[in-house]
Amino acid sequence: MGQQIGEQRPDLHLGDPDGPSVVTPHGKGAKDTETHQVTVPAANHQPIVRGPGHGEAMNTNREIHLVTRPAGEPRPENFDLVTTALPDLAEGQVLVRNSWMSVDPYMLDRMREAESYLPPFQLGAPMEGSAIGQVVASRSADIPVGATVAHFLGWREYAVVDDAAVTVADLSLAPEQAWLGALGTTGLTAYAALTQVAPVREGDVVFVSAAAGAVGSIAGQLARKLGAARVIGSAGGPRKTRKLVADFGYDAAIDYRAGSLAGHLAAAAPGGIDVYVDHVGGDHLVAAIDALRHGGRIAMVGAISSYYANEPVPGPGNLFALAAKDATLRGMLINSYFHLFPEWIGKAAGWLADGSLRTELTVAEGIEQAPAAFLDMMHGGNVGKMLVKLSD
């Protein structure tokens, strides 16, 4: 039937990251998930009910299209909210009412023309990305109406999906949102980075950048569970650095916007670091290489500081120091680690349930807010995972 959960081919400012947050009741199986609302309310949307068939039958959809490719940083005018007619279901397909969709940094790559590990989004067509929702009509023998399924046709309120391309989410383990965050590719990225790419050993000093974000907020807690003696995170601004220590298990937090990153790192880890999970590149990577101890390991997960650059960004000038330190710098693409999903979900669901893995969401409301949510996340408007809520 469906694929492994999360097996996904992977300037509006919505909210003040230093402003008040709204804490919602905790979902089943996730004792410590905090949610920040950062949006204006969605416009009323009254889907048209066509009558009984193979379940609920709708005939219009609202979806976000990419209409022009961004030159450098994307702008709201690169996107359009389009109402389309829903096609009839073919044999083996299901109609999903999406309840949540994910916005992720890698989507920027797909907005551009150049071929990457995934093809560019087509202009004038709905974009794609991780989503979860309820099956409201089914012509599948395997996926019944009422099932909650994760799939890859986000950026739209309803998705017509082949049953082979959905995965039924077990809501007894964690609520829907968690399957796009801690139990999805976000959590798996932290797990693969710290167990496969730059494995943490007992007593290590670990440094994580973009530490208050989706992957980073899990990576710090996971490093500790894997035996790290000291975990240091960097993030932008005082609210986030406070949260790193108060909520996400970091021993020390660096505000990379305030002063010398290298100086702050030296102060936080006077004896150096053993592992660095790089989400940022640039100055962060230079400082981490300088701080690395003999035999140190760096997981090159992301380089968000250069994602908007129009010209290639030069690599770190101190790269050869890795040789003298007998150190490793290894890139990773999460798609190569999907086989670890069952192992990771087994562990992470238990930690969510017992409260020892704390996660946060930053939530934008309504399909019309999805482009702004993406842009906001890229500028640091999120704590934890940025999601768009599409329906109840």
Ligand X SMILES: NC(=O)c1ccc[n+]([C@@H]2O[C@H](COP(=O)([O-])OP(=O)(O)OC[C@H]3O[C@@H](n4cnc5c(N)ncnc54)[C@H](OP(=O)(O)O)[C@@H]3O)[C@@H](O)[C@H]2O)c1
Minimum gap (Å) between residue 102 Cβ and ligand X: 8
305 near ligand X, judged by CB under 6 A: yes
Q: Record the tokens describing residue 317, joined without a space.
A: 């000038």
CB 129 within 8 A of CB 101: yes
CA dist., res. 169 & res. 209, Å (int) = 30
Q: Applying CB under 6 A, which part among 71-79, 99-107, 124-132, 288-296 lies near ligand X?
A: 99-107
Q: Which residues contact 132 (CB under 8 A, 6 or more apart)?
A: 98, 99, 100, 101, 148, 149, 150, 151, 169, 176, 177, 179, 180
CB 388 within 8 A of CB 367: yes
Minimum gap (Å) between residue 343 Cβ and ligand X: 17
Site for ligand X in 109-138 (CB under 6 A): none
Minimum gap (Å) between residue 298 Cβ and ligand X: 13
- Please report the DSSP string for 274-307 in residue order: EEEEESS-HHHHHHHHHHEEEEEEEEE---GGGT
SS (H, E, C) 127-145: CCECEEEEEEEECCCCCCC
CB 219 within 8 A of CB 210: no
Minimum gap (Å) between residue 187 Cβ and ligand X: 10
Candidates 21, 35, 93, 189: give the one binding ligand X (CB under 6 A). 189
Binding mask 65-94 for ligand X (x = CB under 6 A): ------------------------------
Candidates 137, 205, 253, 334: give the one binding ligand X (CB under 6 A). 334
Minimum gap (Å) between residue 201 Cβ and ligand X: 22
390 near ligand X, judged by CB under 6 A: no
142: region left, alpha or beta (phi > 0 left; psi from -120 to 50 alpha):
alpha
213 near ligand X, judged by CB under 6 A: yes
CA dist., res. 373 & res. 357, Å (int) = 25
Site for ligand X in 278-297 (CB under 6 A): 279-280
Diameter of the chain by CA atoms? Answer: 70
117 vs 320, which CB is nearer to ligand X? Answer: 117
Q: Applying CB under 6 A, which part among 38-46, 144-152, 153-161, 376-384 lies near ligand X?
A: 376-384
302 near ligand X, judged by CB under 6 A: yes
Q: Enumerate binding residues for ligand X (CB under 6 A).
A: 104-106, 186, 189, 210, 212-216, 235-236, 240, 256, 279-280, 301-302, 304-305, 332-334, 377, 380, 382
